[in-house]
Every structure is written in C-alpha cells, then in structure tokens.
Amino acid sequence: MLESLGARGGGARGRASRGTGAARACPPRRRHCVSAPPRAPLPAPARPASSMRTRHVNLLIALVAVVLFSFSCFCISRMTQTSNQLINCRNRILELKEGILRLKNRTERNRQELIKALNKIKYEITQGENISVNSVKKKVNALDRNETAPNAFEVLKFFFPHLRKVGRIYPDVITGKEKTGVSFALGISTVDRGNRSYLKQTLTSVVSRMTLSEEKDSVVIVSVADSNEDYLKSVVDMITKKFNRQLKSGSLEVISIPAYFYPNMLHTKQSTEDSQQLESWQIKQVLDFCFLMLYAQPKAMYYLQLEDGIIAKKMYLTKITDFVHKITSKNWFYIEFSILGFIGKLFKSEDLTDFIRFFLMFYKDKPIDLLLGDLFQVKMCKPGETLEKCTERNKQIRIRYKPSLFQHVGIQSSFPGREQYFKDIYY
C-alpha cells in the first residue's frame, strides 16, 4: 500500500514535472525506466533597433561633452594668459605714464629757464634795434652835401621843368639797408585807402613764400606814394614791427616819394568832376610807378612790378627764376605772371630806362598798362608791317606764364569810392 501510495505520489510529481516542462530522471527504484532527453534552451529574444540608436546617441553626447569640456579648459587657460598679459601691459603703461610725467616736469623747468634767457637776449636785441632802425631812416636834407646823387633820377628833370630847380631828387625817407647786387627787385606801390589796407597781407604773402636763399638774392621795395604823414608813419611802424628781420637783412625797404616830385597838372583838361578825379588818379599812378622803377633799377638784374592788394603763390620766385632760365631767346620784351593790369610784369632792369622814358612822355594820355601795349607797337612793329605779323611777334617776345602766380584781393580801390572785384582766372 505504501508502494502504491509512493507510486501515486511519484506519478503525481511526474505529472507535475511534465506540467512544468522540466526533464526529470527515473526514480532510483525503477531501473528499467528510460529518461527523456533534455530539451534545447529557448533562444534569447532579439534586442529592438531603438535600443541601438539610444546607445549611439549616448556615445555621441558623451563625446560632445568631452569636447566641450576640453574646449572650456582651453578657453579658461587662454583667458588666464590674456588676463596676465593685460596686467603686464597696464603696469608698463603706468610706468610709461610716470616716465612721461617726470619728463614733462623736467621740460617745464627747462622751458622756464629758456624763457628767462630769451627775455634777457630779447631785451638786449631791442636796445640794439632802436639804434639800428633809427640809423637806417634817413632824411634827404640830412644827407651829406658831398655825397654823390644817383644819376637815375636826373632823367626826371628832362620831363618836368619844375624839378630842374631841385638840387637832388631822391626819396624822402628810406628804411632799410639800400641793398644792391641782387637778382630780383620787387616793387610795391601803396597809397592810403581809408579804413581798408591790404599792404600787410600782401607783404606777408610775398615775403613768407620765399626761400631763405631767395630772400638773400632779392629786395622788396615798398613805395609810399601818399602825402599823408600819418599813413606813412603807420606803414613804417607796421613794417618795423612785423618785418623787422627782413629790414635788418636788407631784403625789405620802405621809401617815400617826395611831394615836390608831382607836377601841377591835375586841372589841365576840362572835364566833369568824376572823370577829372579819375584822370588825375591815373596820371599819378603812372608817375608813382616810374619813380619806383628808377629807384629799383640799379639794385637788381630783374624788376617785378606788384601792387599792395595782391597775394602770391607758394614758391613763386622759384618758379619765376626757373622759367626765366629756360627761355632760350634773350630778346623778350617782358614776361607776364598775371594777366591783370600791371601786376606781375617782369622786366630786365637794363630795359627799364626805355620803359620809364616812354611812360613819362605819355603819362597824361593813358593808364600805364595801356601805355605798355603802345610801347610794344612803337618799339617792335616795323613800319608798313601788317598787323598779323606784328601780333605774331608779340606772342614771341611778350611771354605769358600759366598759371598766374599772383591774384588780386583788394576790393577797396586806391581810387576813392570805387570797389573792384576782378580776379585773375588763370591763378
């Protein structure tokens, strides 16, 4: 009965085992039982594709994190180095600033010492200048009677009988060193224009735009052609103050035309008052230029006529010198460096005598710039020659330089009550 119970129990366990699918061995007491072969294990289930993609994404994220971390470390390192460099640069700037401050203090001390020395020198020079300027201002009446009078002014006695009673014709006042033996004499005639004056502007332009070597080889002559003593004094004072160096070196002179030089010819023609004043003004201008030319002729090789209401271009005298030297023909009449009136006309000093005599013969008839054209026709055009041939020769010996080197700036004319706005279009 026990065996049957065991058999039933074993059968039940065997069914349970089969129910669970497990292979069990035969009971030990059943020797003839054949055990069932073991079942093969079930294959593992396949991993889905989404799991693989997740793994790749995780790897990529890890790689990017490593790269970002490395880059951050690199940036932090560079920022640290840059910060150190900025600190070093700031320290050097502070050191440089301190050095500049020390240098500035030292320079200021040196400047104060230099100012003291210059003031002392200036005081000594001023004392000497007062003596020097007074020594170069000469009155004609104070000249030695045995001094030889210049022969240049003697030609005036031929044209003006009233001058034959004058022993010596010469400028009333001379300020300067009466320099001679230079290449260029520049003549500037000036008169009182009332409340307006362009002389200082003109002299500043003419003098400052020379080189030092040109200044040594030239002389600028300011001729005060006005009987107003106050105007003469103002011109001399202005030039003495503003152009003292040029006065001392002899490159600038001031002369005054004596009142007795002018003839009594203001009412020789019957005319209206306005035209009479204009005619008198034109006559006086011709005589003023003639007197200035006579004074300048023995001083230089060339004479350049200017006015007191003009400005000059930079290096104008250098350009004039170069142009004159490049002219192959030596038979030129004159050279125009401006197309306006009598401004910028260059003459050979040896030819001035003919010009002056012609101007003095016809000074009552025309302005001086028109007389210049008449002189060319008289002197250069042959009798019976056609106008075309004479005009062609005119271009060869009356030479024009372009662009013009001088410009007219004086609006208030030297003729009372007139304004003039004409300009040189080639300047």
pLDDT of the residue at 268: 53
pLDDT of the residue at 121: 66
What token pair was written down for 350?
Answer: 């040896």
Predicted confidence (pLDDT) per residue in 111-160, tens digit: 777 776 666 665 555 555 454 445 444 444 444 433 444 568 999 999 99
Is the bond preceding 367 in cis, omega lying within 30 degrees of 0?
A: no
CATH code for the structural domain at 147-408: 3.90.550
Distance CA 265, CA 267 (A): 6
Distance CA 286, CA 363 (A): 6
Distance CA 253, CA 172 (A): 13
Which residues of the chain fall below pLDDT 70?
A: 1-49, 116-151, 265-273
pLDDT of the residue at 67: 85
Domain boundaries, the chain: 56-136, 147-408
- Three-state secondary structure string covering the chain: CHHHHHHHHHHHHHHHHHHHCCCCCCCCCCCCCCCCCCCCCCCCCCCCHHHHHHHHHHHHHHHHHHHHHHHHHHHHHHHHHHHHHHHHHHHHHHHHHHHHHHHHHHHHHHHHHHHHHHHHHHHHHHHHHHHHHHHHCEEHHHCCCCCCCCHHHHHHHHHCHHHHHCCCCCCCEEECCCCCCEEEEEEEEECCECCECCHHHHHHHHHHCCCHHHHHCEEEEEEECCCCHHHHHHHHHHHHHHCHHHHHHCCEEEEECCHHHCCCCCCCCCCCHHHHHHHHHHHHHHHHHHHHHHHHHHHEEEEEEEECCEEECCCHHHHHHHHHHHCCCCCCCEEECCCCCCCCEEEEHHHHHHHHHHHHHCCCCCCHHHHHHHHHHHHHCCCCCCHHHHHHHHHHHEEECCCCCEEECCCECCCCCCECCCCCCCC
Residue in the structure block whose two tokens are 């020789």: 268
pLDDT of the residue at 186: 98
Diameter of the chain measured on Cα atoms: 195
Distance CA 247, CA 221 (A): 11
- The order of strands in the sheet holding 173-175 is 138-139, 173-175, 252-256, 218-224, 182-190, 300-307, 345-348, 334-336, 398-400
**Nearest to 157, CA basis, from 253, 289, 294, 65:** 294
pLDDT of the residue at 395: 78
pTM attached to this predicted model? 0.66
